[in-house]
Amino acid sequence: MSRRTSRNSLAGVLLAALLAVAGAGCSGSDKSAQPACPDSALTCPAGASPASSGAAPSTASPGATTAAPATSAAPSAKPSASGTSDAPAARSTCSSPGACGFPDARTTGPRIPLTPHKTGYLAVRTNGLVIRGWDITGSLDIYADDVTVIDTRITSDSWWGINLRPGFKGLRVLHSTITAVPGKGPDNGGVDYAVSNMATSSVEVGWCDVSVFGDALSMGQGNIHDNYVHDIVPFVNQGGEWQHTNTVISGGGNTGQLTIRHNTLLNPTGLKQGASGSIGLFADTGVVRNVTVDRNWIAGGAYALYGGDTGATGIKVTDNIFSTQYHPASGGYGVVAHWNAGGAGNVWSGNRMSDGRPITPEPAS
């Protein structure tokens, strides 16, 4: 099956000043039923990911933004390094993601009340900035190092929810909801990227609830863990074609490691409406290398996983569950395409269907 991916040319963006923080009037949190979360916690005491927590970046009170670099100790590297290293192994058969320990709406998104901020397009230029407790109508364009977006909701009206520009590093997006209004995006009514990494550095996205965007998590290198990506909304783009949709997409040419671990990745897009993959590893801009896909719940797409094609190396696909909730073969045409079985360092192990059947990939054509 042929596939074409192109990053749409960005529309002209308006510069916006950073808005003053509204100290009163918080909206209700989607996680009100969960235990209270200390301001310093990256994970809730219970009801969230089993990954170990560390000290969070210094933040102001809920609903505020730290306008200067964080001064506290950097967060523990343990969650970032492994995502869910201590997560229990999935059962041999699974009826649903949440029932089998995978992320869903209960374990992702903000853990605290939020304060509304109609930012529109917002360029972030302060190194070390922490945005916490905001309910944003707009998008964030990051021209700074070590920015953290945590316990925040973004409803995008731009090409992306959050975008890291070339030459910058250290972006972390944690415990947040990133969505958009179908039909209101700039790409002929569609929206393209929930989190976009234009840089050559790694981006961490963890414990986030992501929906609507055509290519939800777009990056060549990063640490994507414990997220719930769902309800992708198909659209006809400005080129007059159905936008190809993927919950995670990498265009190849990556300079670092891409880790996709312990996520629920659902692409319900129909085959005649642009479905591509749940995970799309494509050699569009260069060779695909150094990608780990481990312990995810994966469903939907034309193929559930595109494996990088004939030149791909260092691709490790281990212990994933490919669900039949949209198609009998997980993807409309099958589980995996373009898998390079003979590539150096490529590993396919422990992957199975949601009914427990083991999966053996076909070789790349």
Per-residue pLDDT of 4-55, as tens digits, reads 334 333 333 333 333 333 333 333 333 433 434 444 445 443 333 333 333 3
CA separation, residue 143 to residues 120, 123, 199, 295 (Å): 16, 7, 10, 33
Checking DSSP bridges between strand 130-132 and strand 65-66, what pairing results, if any?
A: antiparallel
Residue 365's pLDDT band (cuts 50, 70, 90):
low
Q: Give DSSP secondary structure letters for 7-34.
A: PPPPPP----PPPPPP-S-PBPPTTTTS
Count of CB atoms situated within 10 Å of the CB of 287? 15
Residues in the chain: 365
Residue 362 has pLDDT above 80, yes or no: no
CA distances (Å), origin 290, targets 186, 268, 286, 313: 33, 27, 13, 7
Structure confidence at residue 298 (pLDDT): 97
Distance CA 55, CA 43 (A): 10
Give 267's contacts (C-beta < 8 A, 6+ positions apart). Answer: 232, 245, 246, 247, 275, 276, 277, 278, 299, 300, 301, 326
Q: Render 182-231 in DSSP notation, one character per residue.
A: TT-BTBTBB--EEEEE-SSS-EEEES-EEEE-SEEEE-SSEEEES-EEEE
Q: Quick one: average pLDDT of 299-327?
A: 94
Mean pLDDT of 131-142: 97
* pLDDT for residue 81 is more than 60: no
